[in-house]
Amino acid sequence: MKTTLRWRSFNIFKLACVFSVLVVGINLAITFLVTDTEQKSVLSDLISPILDVLTLTALFIAAKQSAAHSKHLVTGWGTIALAVLFSTLGDITWAILEVGLKQEPFPSLADGFYLISFPIFLAGVLFLADNPASTGERINRGIDIGIILTAAILAYWNFLIGPSIVSNYGLPYFEQLILLAYPVGDLVLFGALLLIINIRSIGRTNFSLLLVGASLLATIITDSLFDYQTLLGTYVSGGLLDIGWILSTLLLGLAGINQITSLKLKHNPGKFRAELELSEPWKVILESVS
């Protein structure tokens, strides 16, 4: 029974992976085959909210099914789902402004939704990364994370924040504030990523949390490139860079699906301890996705 459930869970996750690869492939085809810039922008604006809703659904289900296992799990996944909800509202608002109303979506209400999602996402990771470490261990890990985060802050200041202040001088103060808020938000996400890496280093993380970390990494890299292109005035909506945000959303959806399938196995342990012994390589593969 458990072996059957494990295979079923593996197939669901595998189908989700295939879907993700197809989505990335379609977006690459749009980027390189569609020559009209406006058409690229419209397709990108329409695809993103659809993927957001699918990911949001997976995360909310993961949070709901986690309720029977741990308060930290249900709060963590629920908080991350809330962060994705705000990001989804941002993408929908952006699409309405750019595609529907033919207005410049920056600065706009969409930016408010995006920026709110950053600290909420960090809160979600804090709940998922909760561990019963001693006070001394927490202090040591906090110092390690603080050192790395300080280095990241200095790098961001030199390459993005500082040049952005100089470049945007003369713009309306509200617009300057928003432009500066995005690199700061990425630093918040980087702090969340460091928490996941720290948990991984002590052998407590699972595959779902690793996927969340991969999603964060994709977001941070894409946001940083976006900030840099905005600084140079070369960013174009619907371009290759937008695939980075799509990849981040897909990875987060995979994290939710993996969490759901893992919880199903825990809910259905089967009548027997083992009905079928699997070879060691298959055990490793199946354990890695459950």
Task: Kindly list the domain boundaries of the chain, sorted by start residue.
Answer: 2-288
Structure-block tokens of residue 51: 């993927």
Half-sphere exposure of 132 (CA within 13 A, CB side): 0
CA distance 243 to 18: 16
Cβ-Cβ contacts under 8 Å for 89 (sequence gap 6 or more) = 113
Check if the beta carbon of residue 82 is closer than 8 Å to that of residue 61: no
Spatial distance between the Cα atoms of 154 and 146, rounded to a whole number of angstroms: 12
Q: What pLDDT, in 10s, does the model give residues 116-150?
A: 999 999 999 988 876 655 667 667 777 878 888 89
Q: For residue 90, report the phi and psi dihedrals to the nearest 5 degrees.
A: -65, -45
Note the residue count of the chain: 290
Percent of the chain with pLDDT over 70: 82
The distance in angstroms from the start CA to the end CA of the chain is 15
pLDDT of residue 30: 93
Closest to 201 measured CA to CA, from 217, 190, 189, 213: 213
pTM of the predicted structure, to 2 decimals:
0.86
Distance CA 65, CA 59 (A): 10
In terms of Cα–Cα distance, which of 49, 31, 39 is closest to 92? 49
Name the residue type at position 185. G
Considering the segment(s) 2-288 as one domain, its CATH architecture is Up-down Bundle (1.20)
The helix/strand/coil state of 40 is: helix
Q: Shortest CA distance to 247 belongs to which of 12, 85, 28, 56?
A: 28
Mean of all residue pLDDT scores within the chain: 84
pLDDT digits (tens, 9 = 90+) for 56-81: 999 999 999 998 888 888 999 999 99
Query: pLDDT tens, 144-203?
Result: 788 888 999 999 998 888 998 888 888 888 888 998 999 999 999 999 999 888 876 554
